[in-house]
Chain A
Amino acid sequence: KAGVTQTPRYLIKTRGQQVTLSCSPISGHRSVSWYQQTPGQGLQFLFEYFSETQRNKGNFPGRFSGRQFSNSRSEMNVSTLELGDSALYLCASSAMTASSYNEQFFGPGTRLTVL
């Protein structure tokens, strides 16, 4: 079974631009979560989608948004990029079934650099 895929793997943008990152979960997984990882703050939760609905959102400004499609693929968007948005953005998928403990499996990440 293929793992979580994320595109693109690397991205360089300038301040003020916007960016869209894509995530395809493991086949059959219906939940997608997004995280930001930086050396200073570690891994921080951005938001989670399940069945095209955002179920919860972490403590990030409204510039960070996302969505999920009917095939469970998800995108996240960051508008008006700031230097501090430079980070590794990780997507994790989860089966979200009654018999699972919602283990999350991470994709390889998208490394975003804002200049």
Chain B
Amino acid sequence: QKEVEQNSGPLSVPEGAIASLNCTYSDRGSQSFFWYRQYSGKSPELIMFIYSNGDKEDGRFTAQLNKASQYVSLLIRDSQPSDSATYLCAVKWGGGADGLTFGKGTHLIIQP
């Protein structure tokens, strides 16, 4: 069974601080990893993706991947109240045409 696990939260972070969101996955054969942000009542919005070990930075966001430990994380620097949302981790498994397997998301609250 291929699973993606996230802490559901809520994770409360003061404005201006770094928010750290974590995700673990069950299958070492996984290929690509995606972070989506979903505001209440809206559809998921792609923030960034990562496919190789290490860090990938895009503006205030940094994705970190450690395939040996089977985890991927998302750091949000200088957190803003507008970052308050549910963050979904998604994994695309290798070797086939599978869709994305999503975690259930972490609810992030940025406190002004």
Residues of A within 8 A of B (CB): 33, 35, 42-48, 50, 55-56, 58, 88, 90, 92, 101-109
| Interchain pairs with CB closer than 8 A, number | 56
Please state if A104 and B46 are interface contacts (CB–CB under 8 Å).
Answer: yes
Contacts of A108 in B (CB 8 A): 42-43
Residues of B within 8 A of A (CB-CB), count: 23
Q: Taking A35-B99, A56-B98, A56-B99 as contacts, is the C-beta distance between A101 and B51 under 8 angstroms?
A: yes
B residues 47-102 in Cβ contact with A at 8 Å: 49, 51, 88, 90, 92, 96-102
Q: A103-B49, A106-B44, A109-B43 are in contact. Are A42 and B96 (CB under 8 A)?
A: no
- A11 → B minimal CB distance (Å): 16
11 new A-B contacts, CB < 8 A, other than A104-B34, A108-B42, are A33-B99, A35-B102, A43-B88, A43-B90, A45-B101, A47-B99, A50-B97, A56-B96, A56-B98, A101-B51, A107-B43
Q: Is the CB of A106 within 8 A of B99?
A: no
In whole angstroms, how far apart are the Cα atoms of A106 and B104 in the complex? Answer: 17
Q: Are A33 and B43 in contact (CB under 8 A)?
A: no
Pick the contact of B99 from A45, A101, A103 — CB < 8 Å? Answer: A45
Q: How far is the CA of A7 from the CA of B45 in the complex (A)?
A: 19
Most A C-beta atoms less than 10 A away, residue of B44, B92, B96: B44
29 A-B pairs in the complex with CB atoms less than 8 angstroms apart: A35-B100, A43-B44, A45-B98, A45-B99, A45-B101, A46-B99, A47-B99, A48-B98, A55-B97, A56-B96, A56-B99, A58-B99, A90-B43, A90-B44, A92-B100, A101-B32, A101-B51, A102-B32, A102-B92, A103-B34, A103-B49, A104-B34, A104-B100, A105-B46, A106-B43, A106-B44, A106-B46, A108-B42, A109-B43
